[in-house]
Amino acid sequence: MFRVLSPTWWLALLNLLGRHGRPYRGPHSDHFDGERFHNLEPKPHKSLGDVLKWRFSRPPQMQWVAQPGPQMPAEIVNRVHGAELRVTYINHATLLIQQHGLNILTDPLWSKRASPFDFIGPQRYHPPGLSLDQLPPIDLILVSHNHYDHLDLFSLRQLAERFPLAKVVTGLGNAGLIGECGFPDVIELDWWQSLPLNEQLSLHAVPVQHWSARARHDTNRSLWLGFVLDSAEGPLLFPGDSGLGPEFKLINQRFGPLRFAALPIGAYAPRWFMRDNHMNPDDAVQAHQQLASQCSMAIHFGTFNLSDEEQFAPPQELAKALAERQVPANEFRPPKPGEQWQIPVLARV
């Protein structure tokens, strides 16, 4: 029997083949040369030869094993107000942030694979900490960049069906693809641009050290970025993916100490290949220190096997790095899927 392909599947295929979507066109800037974007400190892009070298020199890995979902799902309220801030870790880089009456999702990913297709590509090793049906009404979705483990068309289409009035904010060059999922309101931001959300909360696009591509032909033709949510109670950072570069110090200089940061600690090995674009746990601890973060949550680990470190290595290496850099372990912790944190107001000095 022939398989009936969904519109999302066709969209993924056309995008992968370069038959759908247009490269970003806009004025030159300090990080856009008219065709491609680059980091504040430009890094050489890994060639196909580098990719093949990594793939064919990978050491034997311990088999990843499936993990159970949460025994008791977090209690999700419809809204929070006042100084309260709740952050629920769903999986990978997907967070539910609840603050000042708004429910915000980051890099939503509920698919079984981090891939353009559902039959090939990195598979998940634990279920999402919240199902789509457990979500409260979603007002805002933040998409940091267009890699398949961060911009997932299948998840976005399901969210558009459930929350058609949700606004999506992303980097330059991504709106067309996201709009095809059914969202009527997609806003593109450049680094350091801002967007007021309500009287208490503002959104700021910030630089991170990474790259973009959904296929070889569109490398760095759309912008990668992080997001700062700023309020009187203190700023919080969601960087998506990032290597350790000058960006975290710049974010601290502009916004001051952070109330909360979500910092990626996985997909870091081998270092010769991953260093420029993915922090290892020690890099993440340095970022935590540079940001002067009061409370940091480790993300981007354990859900998909994307690189060479072992399944449970990132939290173990994080504990070592915190001890070596004399950072209290309660300042920077790895959560379990479905775990909800209530973040205290930033203590002003």
Tell me which of 333 and 70 has the higher pLDDT: 333
Output the average pLDDT for the chain.
92
Predicted confidence at residue 300, as pLDDT, reads: 98
Predicted confidence at residue 3, as pLDDT, reads: 46
Predicted confidence at residue 10, as pLDDT, reads: 52
**Which whole number is the average pLDDT over 8-32?**
70
Nearest-angstrom CA–CA distance, 225 and 248: 12
Domains and CATH numbers, the chain: 9-15+75-342 (3.60.15.10)
**Which whole number is the average pLDDT over 17-44?**
84
Least confident range of 8-12, 177-181, 242-246: 8-12
Q: Would the pLDDT of 285 be above 60?
A: yes
Nearest-angstrom CA–CA distance, 139 and 146: 21
Among 125, 190, 118, 102, which Cα is nearest to 152's? 118
Least confident range of 16-20, 144-148, 182-186, 319-323: 16-20
Q: Read off the pLDDT of residues 198-239 as tens digits, 9 standing for 90 and up.
A: 999 999 999 999 999 998 789 999 999 999 999 999 999 999
Q: Read off the pLDDT of residues 76-86 as tens digits, 9 standing for 90 and up.
A: 999 999 999 99
| HEC sequence for the chain | CCCCCCHHHHHHHHHHCCCCCCCCCCCCECCECCCCECCCCCCCCCCHHHHHHHHHCCCCCCCCCCCCCCCCCCCCCCCCCCCCEEEEEEECCEEEEEECCEEEEECCCCCCECCCCCCCCCEECCCCCCCHHHCCCCCEEEECCCCCCCCCHHHHHHHHHHCCCCEEEEECCCHHHHHCCCCCCEEEECCCCEEECCCCCEEEEECCECCCCCCHHHCCCCCCCEEEEECCCCCEEECCCCECCCHHHHHHHHHCCECEEEEECCCCCCHHHHCCCCCCHHHHHHHHHHHCECCEEEECCCCECCCCCCCCHHHHHHHHHHHHCCCCHHHEECCCCCCEEECCCCCCC
Q: Would the pLDDT of 274 be above 70?
A: yes
